[in-house]
Chains A and B, each alone.
Chain A
Amino acid sequence: MIQITQDSRSLGGDPVIQGPFARRVVKTGEWPIRGVPSFFFSPIPHSIPSDSATAPRHPFAATLTLARDSFFNTSSNISPLFGSRTVVSVPVQQSPPQRNHISSEADAFAREMGLWGWIVQLRTFVRQELKVAILEIELVHDPELETLVLICLTIKSTAPLGQLLQWDDKLRNFVCEEIPPAQRQYFAFRFDQEG
């Protein structure tokens, strides 16, 4: 069995054959097949297809499975055996850039202090309720109390100030309702309005 696969993790790279021809790289857009009586070709779209001629080169996911291994002579080049079939790459929907970053120090601190569960919930809340694209989590020291270490969640957005204030209220309500005071003291929030 041969599979051509490329997923969104390999951005822009050529699909690579897995299986007996593992070291062969196939040219994007074409896959030589001729006279194969039994095959399945199942592109797995990540989004709505658009005009492939004008669309920039996008990652795509496609799996080509040739059901009968006997059609392949593993010792020779496979190209002469088959004709050609065009594989149309399916563009990925251009969603806003997502950036969720947690520094290694903040990660370690949260886990050590038993705060990781709150980090997960806060991150999910910011993602799902505020629909904010960029969230950075870092460890900071309180400027007034240097011994106090805080986990600072920085939310970056181009939204207007009024929207940021609404989000701030939502976030504060969530924190006050969900997180007990003993653990709440370790969290700080910052909203950065990006131009």
Chain B
Amino acid sequence: MDLKRSNVRIASAELNYQAVYSELAFDMLSNPLALYKSLTSNFAPFGCTLGSLGWENPNFQNTAITCNLSDLGATIRIRIDKVQIEFPRLHELATPVLQQLLSAIEDTLKEASPHLSLTTHLIDLSVIAVFVDSTRGHHLSGLANVPPGLGNVEVGIGFYAHPTPVGQSWKNLVLDRVFGRDDQIAIRLTGGIPVLEQPLETLATYLKALFRSSIADVGLDLPAGTSE
């Protein structure tokens, strides 16, 4: 089957990133002032002030020191078992800025707890893309045949990785409809990448390439530009 190719551009992108520690960071959270100090210094260029810092304590596991970068719309949560970062408006940030933010996270963790290491990156990237020269129905009909008995339906497709041993990378890709908008498609890329395979200092570039290649595999091409 020949793969249909369509050009798309990104309308919005949201990234939820988690980095899992090699061990529980009791030491780091027992000295939160050092962590606050590191956050303040490393994220100052991104608009971090004392008012950006916070403390969440719904229960022990979810206790987190937070840093809310309101100008960027990003939230960082440093928990006892992992660090979480939400970028609900990733499409507004260039890749180098994302890389700077990730590097700032790495520096913060190193300063606050020199012995702490990361084991796995977990990514959850949700993108709304707009078709430039095609429609979602037209494009997805080339990837899946709808059984006639289902009638007139819209198609969504998920590609899920087989269960993998710990320490190996995996990814899932879901192509879904945007309700009522045949010119748009919702793309969700989730995955796990061992830190040994991909260090944090180059993760942003890797993510960009991973997303580009993943959607290229299903016939969606992005233009070269700054908004990736």
Contact = CB atoms under 8 A, between A and B. Distances in A.
Chain B interface residue count: which class? 10 to 19
Contact of A114 (B44, B46, B72, B228): B228
B89 A118 contact: no
Nearest to B13: A114
Nearest to B94: A114
Contacts of A112: 227
Contacts of A141: none
Interface string A169-184: 0000000001110110
A48 interface: no
Contact of B93 (A114, A123, A178, A186): A114
Contacts of A182: 226
B92 A114 contact: yes
Given A116-B89, A118-B97, A128 B44 contact: yes
A117 B47 contact: no
Interface range on chain A: under 10, 10 to 19, 20 to 34, or 35 or more?
20 to 34
Q: Dominant SS at the A interface?
A: helix
A113 interface: yes
Nearest to A111: B92
Interface string A7-43: 0000000000000000000000000000000000000
A194 B71 CA distance: 28
B227 A114 contact: yes
Contact of A110 (B46, B92, B96, B228): B92
Given A116-B89, A116-B92, A180-B96, A124 B46 contact: yes
A180 B228 CA distance: 14
Most chain B CB inside 10 Å of its own CB: which residue of A110, A114, A115: A114
A121 B89 contact: no
A120 B227 contact: no
Interface of A: 110-118, 120-121, 123-125, 128, 178-180, 182-183, 186
